[in-house]
Amino acid sequence: MTSDLLHQILRRRAGAFCLVVLILFYVAAFFAPLLAPYATSDQDLTKTYHPPTGVVWQEGRLAVRLYKLVDPTCAKYEAEPGQFAPIHFWVKAPTYHFLGFIPVSHRLFGVEAPARLYLLGSDETGRDVFSRLLYGSRVSLTIGLIGILITTVIGLTVGGLAGYFGGVFDSVAMRGTELIMAIPGLYLIIALRAALAKYFDDSDQIFILIVVILSFIGWAGTARVIRGLTLSLRNRPFIYAAEALGQGPVTILWKHLFPNLFSYLIVTSMLSIPGYILGEAALSFLGIGIQEPSTSWGLMLSQVQDLKVFMLNFWWLLTPGLAIFITVILFNVLGDVVRDIVDPKLKTQV
């Protein structure tokens, strides 16, 4: 079924394009430590708000221009004519444990210090925006995947069991979902965030907290729909047949009901990922999302909500916004394509 779906997606131009670009994004996020010329925390206080370094072909190899800070009061840099630093490939760098256990002591490309390579400029403490974007994508791109994973698992379990068993379990579960859905989302998020923050000290754990909170809001809707679908499938002959064969409820749910819900799940998953990405960005923007020294697109974007970025034209600091925008569009388009393939009758949801 999955390979069939993939095949159909690839047959459509829009679907293929979105899928390929998204996969590229994920690959880049996965190999971020290798691709990024610098670590996220590498600062250079003499090169803050550095514009993107120009890349030129110089003496038979790629090189970057060197810049001079001509006016420190407004971070104005000018390229020094005739000054270049060659770009080296597969350069030695401080050792980093890829995936936590593979020691890597090289990066794909870089320039020799003290020159710095800023493909997308630098931020207020001279950190490389390009590297931070790559590392930040790990948070922003996975938050949706982990989020839907959690909501789907909880939603399937609760909704499936409620629909299958009915009775007291059903009403308790449904009142629970109604309770969550009866609180305006943002209020609940803020309250949860404030209440739970103390259990997630480390800045890496904040990521988990954000996912947990967003999933906590999200599972209720999934559970209700799953329950409805299960209810409608519950009385189909094939379920009765399975029961007659003596299969337990868990087996029946797993073997007979869930495959029938697959198409629904894949579509809603695709279409709800943007919600997580935008949710993380909004939380970070309000200052209650991902925290330094971790990085995410939302956090990077929240750090530029400042007039000077526009007035002094530090446009490269807006690239995280562009990254969010593009990713969300890709997911939306892909979601629509998948929906058209899987279930053309499903109406576009508001």
Partner 1 sequence: MPSLRLTVLNSLFRGVAITLAALLIPACSPRQKLKREFPPLPKDVDIITKPPGRYGGIYINVDPGGGPNTFNYLVAEDATSMGAIGTVLEGLVRRNSLTEEIIPGLAKSWEVSPDNKTYTFHLREGVKWSDGAPFSADDVVFTFACIYDERFPNRHASDYSIDGKPFKVEKMDNLTVRFITPDIYAPFLEMVGGGPILPKHALQKFADNGTLMKAWNIGTHPREIVSTGMFRIASFKPGERLVYEPNPHYWRADNTGQRLPYLDLYITKFVRDQNASLAAFATGQSDSEGITPDNVEWVRRGEKAHNYTVHERGPSTVCNFLWFNQNPEKDKSGKPFVEPYKLKWFQDVRFRQAVSHGINREGIIKGVLFGRGTPLWGPETPANTKWFNPDLQKYPYSPEKARELLKLAGFRWNEAGELFDSAENRVSFTLNTNQENPIRQHMATVFKENMKDLGIEVKLQLLDFGTFVKKIGESYDYECGMLGLTGGGDPVGGMSVYLSSGRMHEWYPNQKKPATAWEARIDELMMKQLKTLNLAERKKYWFEVQRIMSEQLPFIYLITPNSYEGVKNRWENVEIPKSGGITWNLDEYYLK
Partner 2 sequence: MKTYILRRLLLMIPMLLGVSLLVFVLVYISPGNYLDALKAQRDIPAEFIAKKERELGLDRPWYVQYVSWLGRTVRGDFGESWSYRIPVAELLAQRAPATLALSLTSLVFAWAIAVPLGVFAAVYRNSIFDKLSALSAYAALSIPEFFLALLAVIFASQWGVFPTGGLSSIDHDYLSPVGQLWDYVHHLILPTIVLGIGGAAGLMRVMRTNMLDVIQSEYVMTARAKGVPENVIMFRHVLRNAINPLVTSLGFAFSGLLSGAVLVENVMNYPGLGQLIFQAFMRKDRDVVMAAVIIGSSMLIIGNLIADILLAWVDPRIRYDK
Judged by CB under 8 A, does residue 326 bind partner 1? no
Q: Which two tokens stand for residue 3?
A: 């390979």
Choose between 78 and 201: whose C-beta lies nearer to partner 1.
Answer: 201
CA–CA distance, 105 with 91 (Å, rounded to integer): 8
- Does 307 bind partner 2 (CB under 8 A)? Our answer is yes
Q: Which amino acid belongs to residue 100? A: G
Size of residue set near partner 2 by CB under 8 A: 38
Q: Kindly identify the residues of this chain, within the stretch 52-81, that bind partner 1 according to CB under 8 A.
A: 72-75
Binders of partner 2 among residues 308 to 327 (CB under 8 A) are: 310, 321, 324-325
Interface with partner 2, residue 212, by CB under 8 A: no
> According to the binding rule CB under 8 A, does residue 21 interact with partner 2?
no
Residues 30-89 that bind partner 2 (CB under 8 A): none
Closer Cβ to partner 1, 75 or 229, answer by number: 75
Residue type, 23: I
Stretch that binds partner 2, among 19-27, 100-108, 141-149, 189-197 (CB under 8 A): 189-197
173: left (phi over 0), alpha (psi -120 to 50) or beta: alpha
Query: Which residues fall within 8 angstroms of residue 273, CB to CB, at 6 or more apart?
Result: 144, 145, 147, 148, 331, 335
45 binds partner 1 (CB under 8 A): yes
Of the two residues 257 and 323, which places its CB atom closer to partner 2 in the complex? Answer: 323
Distances (CA, A) of 139 to 143, 184, 192, 208, 233: 6, 25, 20, 10, 37
Secondary-structure breakdown of the chain: helix, strand, coil percentages, each rounded to the nearest 5 = 60, 15, 25
Q: Is the peptide bond before 293 cis (omega within 30 degrees of 0)?
A: yes
Closer to partner 2 by Cβ: residue 81 or 184: 184
Q: Binding residue for partner 2 (CB under 8 A) from 106, 282, 303, 308?
A: 282
Q: Please report whether residue 13 would count as binding partner 2 according to CB under 8 A.
A: no
Closest by alpha carbon to 63, among 46, 48, 42, 80?
Answer: 80
Binding mask 108-147 for partner 1 (x = CB under 8 A): ----------------xxx---------------------
Q: Return the range that interacts with partner 2 (CB under 8 A); candidates 153-161, 164-172, 255-263, 273-281.
A: 273-281
Question: Which range of residues in 27-35, 140-148, 283-291, 321-329 is near partner 1 by CB under 8 A?
Answer: 283-291
**Is residue 143 part of the contact set for partner 2 (CB under 8 A)?**
no
Q: Which helix (H) or strand (E) holds 109?
A: strand 102-110
Crossing angle of the two packed helices 2-11 and 319-342, in degrees rounded to 10: 110
User: Which contacts of 83-92 are long-range, i.e. CB under 8 A and separated by 24 or more positions?
Assistant: 84/56, 84/58, 85/111, 85/112, 85/115, 85/117, 86/58, 86/59, 86/61, 86/62, 86/111, 86/112, 87/55, 87/61, 87/62, 87/63, 87/111, 87/117, 88/112
Q: In whole angstroms, give the CA distance from residue 53 to residue 30.
A: 25
Spell out, one character per residue from 191 to 220, where the chain touches partner 1: x when CB under 8 A holds, - when not.
Answer: ---x--xx--xxx-----------------
125 binding partner (options partner 1, partner 2, none; Cβ < 5 to 8 Å by kind): partner 1
The answer to whether 223 touches 162, Cβ cutoff 8 Å, is yes
Provide the binding-site residues for partner 2, judged by CB under 8 A: 175, 178-179, 181-184, 186-188, 190-192, 194-195, 197-198, 274, 278, 281-282, 285-286, 301, 305, 307, 310, 321, 324-325, 328-329, 332-333, 347-350
Provide the binding-site residues for partner 1, judged by CB under 8 A: 41-48, 72-75, 124-126, 194, 197-198, 201-203, 287-288, 291-293, 303, 305-308, 311-312
